[in-house]
Amino acid sequence: MSSSVTLRSPRMSGTPPALTDFGRIVVKVGSSLLVDVEAGGVKEAWLASLVEDLAGLHRDGRDVLVVSSGAVALGRSLLRLPKGPLALEDSQAAAAIGQIALARIWAEALGRHGITAGQILVTLGDTEERRRYLNARSTIARLLDWRAVPVINENDTVATNEIRYGDNDRLGARVATMASADLLVLLSDIDGLYTAPPGIDPSATLIPVVERITPEIEAMAGDSASELSKGGMRTKIEAGKIATTGGTHMVIASGRIEHPLRAIAEGGRATWFLAAGNPVTSRKKWIAGSLEPKGTLTIDAGAVAALRRGKSLLPAGIVRIEGEFSRGDAVLVRGPDGFEIGRGLVAYDAADAERIRGHSSGDIAGILGTHGRTAMIHRDDLVLGQG
């Protein structure tokens, strides 16, 4: 996929990038911004102002993608369902009614600016399985070649609790890295990441730029979610990890104002999460964004240092193995303090991994009776976070 806008490097220490630095932008819109539950329907004036901003970016030659929540919220408002949690079948059926309305609303709003919308509904398996991931990626690429704006949501009508993203923050991040976007904008009912949850701690201050997602940053996220949207700050930080390790910058900004993208462009309040400077291969982006790692490998400090020097993860450095995984599955790699330092595709199943854990690679054949791979995770199959 190519981009017609020339970028200057947005990675300047401590300085927030400008919206015009980016050539391919994914904008995630939360349910509570879009849907007026009391009045029943969509907040038309607000949507028109957002779409005007999107159309401006599109006119300047940028590729624009929208990840829109609101299927369930719109469906339940059209059906006038009572407040409170919905049973699975109810939310699936509400999404079926809401999604068709949502698609029409986006198509009409973009159409008023001469822009064609294309709807994509994805399930978790569409991004977790490499073949389907590549498929979805080429569809997006073709839509962008045609200058259409993909409007993406989870296929909530078939998603069940076990097999769903559940929140569109992580879905947005997954889509952004899949589409090789250079920026993900999360429009939400909060204008950024605060040093503490602002509703609880009045001395909390907004952090304008996060260069790396460290354990301290994670601790600031708290666990709040608004009534309509699924994603609290925690899922936004998870989204930030997926995006930034996949080479996509991310910005969280308030969508409670009209022209929310113009506000970001004018330097309004927001938190920017900067991506690593070095390019990430497409395969590594996919590994970095795996949402359902099947297990966890906890490693010692020496192994952490070796990985940071670009080495593969050897069995000798592994202190603990958790989870039921098969060879080739995605697993989390944690340091001695438990902090996630990366993700990778493991070369052994859980049982064999347990048997060779802590042993030098030369002993593998003796223990397993076959000559297996030297590394538990080869460096080509490993993506380190920035922490």
Residues that bind ligand GLU (CB under 6 A): 30-31, 69-73, 95, 153-154, 156, 167-168, 229-231
Question: CB-wise, 16 or 75, nearer to ligand GLU?
Answer: 75
Q: What is the dihedral of CA 46, 51, 57, 63, to 10 degrees?
A: 130
Q: How far is the CB of 95 from ligand GLU (least distance, A)?
A: 6
CA atoms within 13 A on the CB side of 235: 22
Question: CB-wise, 32 or 298, nearer to ligand GLU?
Answer: 32
- Count of CB atoms within 10 A of residue 52's CB? 16
Q: How far is the CB of 227 from ligand GLU (least distance, A)?
A: 11
Question: CB-wise, 209 or 291, nearer to ligand GLU?
Answer: 291
Question: CB-wise, 31 or 271, nearer to ligand GLU?
Answer: 31
Instruction: Describe the strand order of the beta sheet including 330-334 as a list of residue ranges.
Output: 318-323, 295-299, 330-334, 340-345, 382-384
Q: How far is the CB of 254 from ligand GLU (least distance, A)?
A: 16
Rounded to whole angstroms, the Cα distance separating 274 from 268 reads 17
Q: How far is the CB of 228 from ligand GLU (least distance, A)?
A: 7
Residues 149, 56, 260: CA angle, nearest 5 degrees: 90
Q: How far is the CB of 273 from ligand GLU (least distance, A)?
A: 18
Question: CB-wise, 154 or 381, nearer to ligand GLU?
Answer: 154
Question: CB-wise, 62 or 236, nearer to ligand GLU?
Answer: 236
Q: How far is the CB of 355 from ligand GLU (least distance, A)?
A: 41
